[in-house]
C-alpha cells in the first residue's frame, strides 16, 4: 500500500514534468512560427493566416522530436535521486515490484518512502525550458513588430505611388473620337527619345514637337485644336474617309487646349511645360578671396561642380590678371578650359583645374579675377561670382612709402620685423657660402631677435614674461645696489605690476587687440622655425606678421581728399537783410486717381457664386459677370494650367447651364478666386456718427467743459 503511494507520487511528478515540457514546446513552436512568419510576410508578402499551419507543423515537429509522453517513471526516479540526497539514491525501489525486493531493499524502501512523500511535486529545473521559450517568444514578438513597421512603411509607399496614378485627371473625350495617338518629340537638348501617349493632357519639355493623330469613328468635316481660347489650328485628314486627322506643332507656351470636332468643343486639356533650367555651378575651392602669402606655393586649385537638368555642353574659366597699381594697372584676359571633355553631355560634372599663377605671368602684387561659365545643351549659360586670388607683394610690404609721410613718430620695434625678414633672406642667400654651424647660429640669433620683438609687442597687450628681455645684462639693478638696502619702494617698484599706470594704460579697441594677438601668434611661429634652423619656413610667418603690423599702422590713418570750390561773389547789400519778398512760394496741384481694381470682375463673381449656392439658377446679368471672371481665370490657367485648369473647367460647366449647377464646381471656382485675388490693403476710414439729433455731440462738448 505504501508502495502504491510512492508510485503515485512519482507518477504525479512525472505528470507535472510532462505538462511543463509540453507547454514549453507549445511556446517554442509559437516563437518559431512567429519569427518565421515575420520573415515570410516581409519577404514574400503572404497572408498572415498561414501562421496556423506553420504553428501546427512546428509543434508537431517539436513533439515528435522530444516525445515527452515517453518519459518513464524510472527516469523521474533517477532525477529525484539526483536532486534530493535524502532519498539516498533509492527512489527507484518504489517502482519495483514489492515481491521482487530483497530484504535490504525492503528496509530501504520503507525508509525512503516516507521521505518521498515530503519531496515537493515540482522542481525549478522543470521551468528552465519554459523560461527559454518565453524569452524566444518575446524576441519573436519584437521581430514581428519591427517587420510590421517596415511592412506598413512599404504599404504607405506603395499607396503613395498608386495615388499619384490616381491623381491623373480622367479625361472626357468627344464621342466622335475613337482613338488618339499623340507623338511627343522632345527637343534635341533634352537628349530624350520620342514617346507616344493616348491621353490629351500633355506634360512636355519646352520646345517639344507634338503630333496629334486623331481617329474618328465617323467621317467628320473638320477637326480643330483650340489653344488657350485664342488660337485655332486645323488638323489635316490623312485618309480619304476623313476619319484620320493629324497635325504637328512645336509648343513653347504652357496653357490648355480643346479639341473641336465639327464645331463641338471637348473638355479643357492641360498643356504643361517643363522649362529647361540653366546649369548650376558650385565652386568648392578656392574661397571667394584667396591671399597667397610670400613663401606659399603660387598656384590655385579650382574645384567646381556643374549640374544641369539635361546636359552640360561646355564650361570655361574666364580669368583676368591685373598687374600694377593705381593708374598703371593693366588687365589681361585668359580663357582656361578644364581639360575635360563635354562631348557626352552629362548632367553632372565634377571639374578640377590647377592654375599655376606664374604661368599666367603673375608676379607678387598681381591679382587674378576669375569666374566659371557653363553652357547647357539648350545653350543656356550661367556664370559664377567673380573670385579673387592675389599674391602678396613683398616689395610693397618692405617699402617705406607709406611711412615717410604722415606720422613721423615710429616706435623702433615697427621696423624690426622688416629687419628680421631682410636678415632671414640674407641668411638664406648666404647659406651656400657659410658653414652649417654658422648658419644655425645666425638662425638662432634671428630667433632671439624675433622673441624680443614679440615680447615688446606682448607688453602692448599686457602680457608678462617670466624672462625679462635680458635680465643678465641689467648691470645697474637698483635692487642689487647696497644703497637701496631696506628701501621697500625700490623692491616694490621692480617686482610689482603697475597696471594702473597711466603711461602704460592701453587704449586699444578689441579689434586692434585681436589683430595684435594674431601678429604675436605669427611671430611665435616664425621664432619656432628660426630656432629649428629653418629660416625658409619662417619667412611666410614673418611676412604675415609684417603685413599685420602694417595693417595696424594703417588703421589709425584717414585720407581726406582736397577739394576746390569757388563760391559766387556775395551781394553785400542783400546779406542778412531778411528780405524774402521776391521769393515765390511753390504750389503744385495734381490729381492721382487710384488704379482700378484688376480683380473687380472676380470679386463680383464671388457674389454671383454665393447667390448660386442658394438658387442654382443663372440669370442674364449673372452670366455676364461670370463670363468676365471666366476670361480672367482663363488667362491665369494659360499661365499655370496645373493650378487653375480644374477651376476653369468648373467655371465652364457652370456657364454651360447643362442641368443644375453643382456645389462642387462652385467651390472649385471659389477656391481659385481666393487664390487669385490679392489681399485688400488697409486704408483709413471714418466712422459714422449716430443719427441722434446731436445728442452725442452735445455730450462730448459738455464733457470737455467739465474736464476743464
Closest CB to another protein among 339 and 684? 684
Query: At 250, which helix (H) or strand (E)?
Result: strand 244-251
Q: Which residues contact 552 (CB under 8 A, 6 or more apart)?
A: 512, 515, 516, 519
Backbone angles phi, psi at 478, to 5 degrees: -65, -25
CB of 615 vs another protein, minimal distance in Å: 10
| Binds another protein by CB under 8 A, chosen from 606, 618, 628, 635 | 606
Closest CB to another protein among 161 and 707? 707
Q: Which residues on adjacent β-strands are paired with residue 209?
A: 185, 250
Which residue, chain included where needed, has cell 462730448?
A: 700
Closest CB to another protein among 141 and 611? 611
| Binds another protein by CB under 8 A, chosen from 577, 614, 658, 706 | 614
The footprint of another protein on residues 397-436 (CB under 8 A) is: none
**Nearest residue to 658 (alpha-carbon basis) of 601, 616, 607, 608:** 616
Is 328 near another protein (CB under 8 A)? no
CB of 706 vs another protein, minimal distance in Å: 11
The footprint of another protein on residues 650-669 (CB under 8 A) is: 666-668
Neighbours of 291 (CB within 10 A): 14
With contacts defined by CB under 8 A, name the span among 47-55, 372-380, 627-635, 671-679 that binds another protein.
Answer: 671-679
With contacts defined by CB under 8 A, name the span among 31-39, 395-403, 435-443, 687-695 that binds another protein.
Answer: 687-695
Terminal C-alpha separation, the chain: 124
Is 603 near another protein (CB under 8 A)? yes
| Binds another protein by CB under 8 A, chosen from 594, 596, 660, 706 | 594
Query: At 422, which helix (H) or strand (E)?
Result: helix 413-430
Is 620 near another protein (CB under 8 A)? no
| Binds another protein by CB under 8 A, chosen from 132, 403, 512, 677 | 677
With contacts defined by CB under 8 A, name the span among 119-127, 513-521, 539-547, 601-609 that binds another protein.
Answer: 601-609
| Binds another protein by CB under 8 A, chosen from 128, 157, 299, 671 | 671
Neighbours of 524 (CB within 10 A): 14
| Binds another protein by CB under 8 A, chosen from 86, 88, 385, 692 | 692
- The Cα 199–Cα 194 span in angstroms is 16
CB of 180 vs another protein, minimal distance in Å: 33
Cell of 356: 599655376
- The Cα 570–Cα 661 span in angstroms is 84
Neighbours of 663 (CB within 10 A): 11
| Cα 127–Cα 128–Cα 134 angle in degrees, nearest 5 | 85
The footprint of another protein on residues 526-585 (CB under 8 A) is: 578, 580, 583, 585
Closest CB to another protein among 548 and 602? 602
With contacts defined by CB under 8 A, name the span among 245-253, 297-305, 365-373, 681-689 that binds another protein.
Answer: 681-689
Q: How many residues bind another protein (CB under 8 A)?
A: 50
Is 590 near another protein (CB under 8 A)? yes
Closest CB to another protein among 482 and 614? 614
Is 690 near another protein (CB under 8 A)? yes
CB of 514 vs another protein, minimal distance in Å: 24
CB of 113 vs another protein, minimal distance in Å: 25
With contacts defined by CB under 8 A, name the span among 349-357, 366-374, 569-577, 692-700 that binds another protein.
Answer: 692-700
Q: CB of 16 within 8 A of CB of 121?
A: yes
Neighbours of 62 (CB within 10 A): 19
With contacts defined by CB under 8 A, name the span among 32-40, 273-281, 520-528, 688-696 that binds another protein.
Answer: 688-696
Closest CB to another protein among 124 and 585? 585
Closest CB to another protein among 288 and 615? 615
Q: Which residues contact 347 (CB under 8 A, 6 or more apart)?
A: 307, 308, 309, 310, 311, 312
Three-state secondary-structure class, residue 504: coil
- The Cα 133–Cα 32 span in angstroms is 10
- The Cα 606–Cα 613 span in angstroms is 11
Q: Is the dihedral of CA 260, 261, 262, 264 positive or negative?
A: negative
**Nearest residue to 60 (alpha-carbon basis) of 26, 24, 27:** 26
Q: Which residues contact 117 (CB under 8 A, 6 or more apart)?
A: 5, 6, 9
Closest CB to another protein among 539 and 645? 645
**Residue 124 to residues 120, 128, 136, 238, Cα–Cα distance (Å):** 10, 7, 19, 93
CB of 699 vs another protein, minimal distance in Å: 9
CB of 629 vs another protein, minimal distance in Å: 12
Cell of 644: 487653375
Closest CB to another protein among 489 and 583? 583
Q: CB of 498 within 8 A of CB of 504?
A: yes
| Binds another protein by CB under 8 A, chosen from 170, 588, 596, 658 | 588
Cell of 505: 594704460
With contacts defined by CB under 8 A, name the span among 110-118, 177-185, 488-496, 680-688 that binds another protein.
Answer: 680-688
**Which residues of the shown chain bind another protein in the complex (CB under 8 A)?**
578, 580, 583, 585-594, 603, 606-607, 610, 614, 666-668, 670-671, 673-675, 677-693, 695, 697, 700-701, 703-704, 707
Amino acid at each position: 500500500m505504501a508502495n502504491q503511494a510512492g508510485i503515485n507520487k512519482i507518477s504525479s511528478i512525472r505528470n507535472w514534468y510532462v505538462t511543463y515540457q509540453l507547454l514549453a514546446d507549445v511556446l517554442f513552436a509559437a516563437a518559431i512560427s512567429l519569427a518565421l512568419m515575420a520573415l515570410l510576410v516581409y519577404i514574400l508578402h503572404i497572408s498572415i493566416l498561414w501562421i496556423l499551419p506553420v504553428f501546427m507543423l512546428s509543434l508537431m515537429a517539436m513533439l515528435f522530436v522530444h516525445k515527452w509522453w515517453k518519459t518513464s517513471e524510472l527516469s523521474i526516479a533517477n532525477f529525484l535521486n539526483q536532486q534530493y540526497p535524502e532519498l539516498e539514491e533509492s527512489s527507484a525501489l518504489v517502482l519495483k515490484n514489492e515481491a521482487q525486493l530483497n530484504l535490504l531493499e525492503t528496509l530501504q524502501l520503507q525508509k525512503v518512502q516516507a521521505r518521498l512523500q515530503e519531496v515537493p511535486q515540482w522542481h525549478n529545473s522543470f521551468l528552465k525550458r519554459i523560461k527559454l521559450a518565453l524569452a524566444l517568444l518575446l524576441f519573436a514578438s519584437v521581430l514581428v513588430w519591427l517587420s510590421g513597421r517596415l511592412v506598413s512603411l512599404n504599404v504607405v509607399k506603395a499607396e503613395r505611388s498608386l495615388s499619384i496614378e490616381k491623381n491623373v485627371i480622367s479625361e472626357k473625350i468627344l464621342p466622335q473620337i475613337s482613338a488618339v495617338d499623340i507623338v511627343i518629340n522632345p527637343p534635341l537638348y533634352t537628349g530624350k527619345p520620342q514617346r507616344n501617349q493616348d491621353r490629351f493632357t500633355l506634360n512636355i519639355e519646352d520646345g517639344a514637337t507634338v503630333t496629334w493623330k486623331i481617329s474618328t469613328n465617323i467621317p467628320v468635316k473638320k477637326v480643330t485644336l483650340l489653344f488657350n481660347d485664342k488660337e485655332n489650328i486645323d488638323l489635316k485628314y490623312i485618309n480619304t474617309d476623313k476619319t484620320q486627322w493629324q497635325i504637328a506643332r512645336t509648343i513653347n507656351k504652357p496653357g490648355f487646349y480643346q479639341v473641336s470636332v465639327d464645331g463641338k468643343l471637348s473638355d479643357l486639356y492641360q498643356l504643361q511645360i517643363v522649362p529647361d533650367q540653366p546649369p548650376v555651378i558650385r565652386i568648392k575651392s578656392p574661397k571667394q578671396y584667396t591671399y597667397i602669402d610670400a613663401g606659399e606655393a603660387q598656384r590655385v586649385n579650382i574645384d567646381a561642380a556643374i549640374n544641369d537638368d539635361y546636359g552640360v555642353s561646355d564650361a570655361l574659366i574666364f580669368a583676368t590678371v591685373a598687374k600694377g597699381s593705381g593708374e598703371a594697372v593693366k588687365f589681361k584676359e585668359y580663357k582656361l578650359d578644364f581639360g575635360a571633355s563635354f562631348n557626352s553631355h552629362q548632367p553632372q560634372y565634377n571639374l578640377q583645374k590647377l592654375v599655376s599663377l606664374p604661368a599666367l605671368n603673375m608676379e607678387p602684387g598681381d591679382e587674378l579675377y576669375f569666374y566659371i561659365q557653363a553652357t547647357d545643351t539648350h545653350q543656356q549659360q550661367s556664370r559664377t561670382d567673380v573670385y579673387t586670388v592675389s599674391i602678396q607683394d613683398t616689395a610693397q610690404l618692405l617699402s617705406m612709402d607709406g611711412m615717410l609721410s604722415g606720422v613721423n613718430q615710429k616706435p623702433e620695434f615697427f621696423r624690426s620685423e622688416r629687419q628680421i625678414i631682410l636678415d632671414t633672406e640674407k641668411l638664406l642667400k648666404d647659406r651656400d657660402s657659410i658653414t652649417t654651424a654658422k648658419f644655425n647660429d645666425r638662425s638662432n640669433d634671428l630667433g632671439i631677435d624675433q622673441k624680443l620683438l614679440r615680447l615688446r609687442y606682448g607688453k602692448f597687450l599686457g602680457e608678462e614674461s617670466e624672462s625679462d628681455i635680458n635680465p643678465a645684462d641689467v648691470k645697474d639693478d637698483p635692487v642689487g645696489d647696497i644703497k637701496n638696502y631696506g628701501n621697500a619702494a625700490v623692491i616694490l617698484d621692480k617686482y610689482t605690476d603697475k597696471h594702473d599706470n597711466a603711461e602704460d594704460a592701453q587704449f586699444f579697441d578689441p579689434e586692434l587687440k585681436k589683430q595684435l594677438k594674431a601678429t604675436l601668434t605669427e611671430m611665435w611661429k616664425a621664432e619656432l622655425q628660426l630656432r629649428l634652423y629653418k629660416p625658409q619656413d619662417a619667412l611666410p610667418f614673418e611676412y604675415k606678421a609684417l603685413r599685420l603690423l602694417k595693417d595696424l599702422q594703417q588703421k589709425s590713418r584717414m585720407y581726406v581728399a582736397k577739394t576746390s570750390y569757388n563760391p559766387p561773389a556775395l551781394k553785400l547789400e542783400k546779406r542778412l537783410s531778411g528780405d524774402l519778398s521776391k521769393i515765390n512760394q511753390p504750389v503744385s496741384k495734381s490729381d492721382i486717381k487710384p488704379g482700378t481694381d484688376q480683380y473687380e470682375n472676380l470679386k463680383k463673381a464671388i457674389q454671383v457664386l454665393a447667390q448660386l449656392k442658394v438658387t442654382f439658377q443663372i440669370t442674364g446679368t449673372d452670366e455676364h459677370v461670370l463670363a468676365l471672371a471666366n476670361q480672367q481665370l482663363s488667362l491665369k490657367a494659360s499661365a499655370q494650367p496645373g493650378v487653375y485648369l480644374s477651376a476653369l473647367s468648373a467655371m465652364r460647366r457652370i456657364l454651360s447651364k447643362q442641368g443644375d449647377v453643382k456645389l462642387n464646381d462652385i467651390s472649385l471656382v471659389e477656391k481659385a478666386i481666393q487664390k487669385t485675388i490679392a489681399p485688400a490693403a488697409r486704408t483709413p476710414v471714418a466712422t459714422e456718427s449716430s443719427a441722434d439729433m446731436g445728442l452725442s455731440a452735445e455730450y462730448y462738448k459738455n464733457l470737455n467743459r467739465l474736464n476743464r
